[in-house]
């Protein structure tokens, strides 16, 4: 994970604002939050079966 300081985060926020526009930033943040919550829920629950279907190698 890269070390991001306040300056870098501010730069990313300004670029996102310029590219997406102020009306789409809340929509993007909401979608990102839902995706993170879904990932965390799946991580906590675990997967019902292994990715290979339980067949092994």
What is d(CA 19, CA 3) in angstroms, rounded to the nearest whole number? 23
Mean pLDDT of 36-56: 75
The predicted structure's pLDDT at residue 4: 81
What is d(CA 33, CA 36) in angstroms, rounded to the nearest whole number? 5
The predicted structure's pLDDT at residue 8: 93
pLDDT 10s digits, 11-39: 998 998 999 898 998 998 899 999 999 99
The predicted structure's pLDDT at residue 43: 83
Which pLDDT band holds residue 46 (cuts at 50, 70, 90)?
confident
Stretch (H or E) spanning 44: helix 25-45
What is d(CA 33, CA 30) in angstroms, rounded to the nearest whole number? 5
Which pLDDT band holds residue 56 (cuts at 50, 70, 90)?
low
């Amino acid at each position: 994970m890269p070390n991001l300081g306040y300056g870098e985060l501010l730069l990313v926020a300004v670029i996102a604002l310029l590219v997406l526009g102020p009306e789409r930033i809340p929509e993007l943040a909401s979608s990102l939050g839902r995706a993170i919550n879904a990932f965390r829920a799946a991580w906590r629950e675990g997967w019902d079966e292994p990715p290979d279907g339980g067949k092994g190698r």
